[in-house]
Amino acid sequence: MSKLEEAFISVIVDRSAMAKIFQMADASNLVTELRRNFDAGVTRGYEWRVTQLKKLLVICDKHEPEIVSALHDDLGKPELESSVYEVALLRNSIKLALKQLKDWMAPHKAKTSLTTFPASAKIVSEPLGVVLVISAWNFPFSNSRIGRIIMTAAAKHLTPVSLELGGKSPVVIDSDTNLKITVRRIISGKWGCNNGQACISPDYILTTKEYAPKVIDALKKELEAFYGNNPMGSKDTSRIVNLNHFDRLSKMLEEKEVSNKIVYGGQKNRENLKISPTVLLDVPLDSLIMSEEIFGPLLPIVTLNNLEECFGVINSRPKPLAAYLFTKNHKLKKKFTKTVSAGGIVVNDTAVHFTLPTLPFGGVGESGIGSYHGKFSFDAFSHKKSVLFKSFLGDSAIRYPPYSRRKLGLLKTLVNSNLVDTFKVLLGLS
């Protein structure tokens, strides 16, 4: 087993090992060593990167049981969620990088113009250098408050940042939808993703007053089918991560004018850190549950007079990390994708865009800066260096003093890449 594997597994199996690692290491010396290796070119080559990726793949393949066990011990996370959303997605990302890395690293040709003729140009992907990755206990994220702290600290050193911050991701349900599939996919994205403790988890539902009762009935039916009559005893939902978050969620539920809005669930067990899947109807828009990211198994439904009002509700709030729409109406799909600003939009499903390495994953505004996944991850940690190769041939006197009106006219046409006007100037016709 390599040192990388040993360190990785020691942290998984013994969470106190992380504290030990950082008590022993001096951060300044560590960064100095990492920068020395980078400056020496140790990490830049294709072969070295492939070696590291293969080691990570070995960890995924050899130690999946330990990873799944640790997530179950910490969060009560079901094996399916851990194996699919944690290990399998990472494994697929590594395999994609191994397959595509040589192409990602290769310089890409860029067009030149009359201004630089004769010349050739290319774009070179250059590693940014030593990178600090701050990852949370569930998936890599932060919130906007922490994001501002990190960005302020980085600004002092002119250090670039990529921030994935989460937010309140809305779900809009049109009456013209397949309701059974709609609620099943909402349940999967909400309670099937770490019991709502995921940055792209559906945060609240928007639908019409007329259609809301049908949505609630369908949710109740499918929730019972998935988690039984006693969801608190279900092995297919995760625990709340800790007492602090349990109390935060409890405070949302117990707030005045919210506690009487529960239409399904609401059971809590503080000792076991369990909260059952809970649906609420028409909570006040200024309540805690509608003001803060829920990040838990609570799902409020906000009713509208007509579905067009959903655009006003969503766009009056900070831009979310994700926005979801369920409808068969093509005009509504088109308007939603054009009008709603979010990190990502999914029509007729939830959260699944996260699994596609061909799509950039990230936020906008309050929900984040930058994006990653697949090649977008490679680009996030790269500087796109412009390289231009000029010949000593074709050195024209028009760029050098003394300047004249003729030189000015000729340079203007060259900059505009207008070949016809260039000849006119040369012939004295312009």
* Contact criterion met (CB below 8 Å) for 268 and 262: no
* Contact criterion met (CB below 8 Å) for 417 and 113: yes
Instruction: Tell me the pairing of strands 344-347 and 322-326.
Output: parallel
Catalytic residue among 199, 222, 293, 310: 199
Cα–Cα dist 248/207, whole Å: 27
Catalytic residue among 164, 193, 293, 310: 164
CA-closest candidate to residue 185, choices 351, 384, 9: 351
**Residue 199 known to be catalytic:** yes
Structure tokens at 214: 């049908």
List phi, psi (to 5°) of 326.
-120, 115
Instruction: Tell me the pairing of strands 298-304 and 322-326.
Output: unpaired
CA-closest candidate to residue 136, choices 190, 198, 57, 90: 198
Using DSSP, state whether 93 is helix, strand or coil.
Answer: helix
Structure tokens at 188: 């999967």
Please identify which residue in the block is written with the tokens 């409890």: 250
Residue 336 sits at the vertex; the CA angle it makes with 298 and 333, to the nearest 5 degrees, is: 105
CA-closest candidate to residue 279, choices 302, 247, 255: 302
Can you spell out the DSSP letters for 181-234?
Answer: HHHHHHHHHHTTTGGG-STTSEEEEEEETTTHHHHHHHHHHHHHHHH-S-GGG-
Compute CA distances 84 → 60, 64, 95, 227, 371, whole Å: 12, 11, 15, 19, 22
Cα–Cα dist 181/327, whole Å: 11
**Residue 164 known to be catalytic:** yes
- Give the residue numbers marked as catalytic: 164, 199
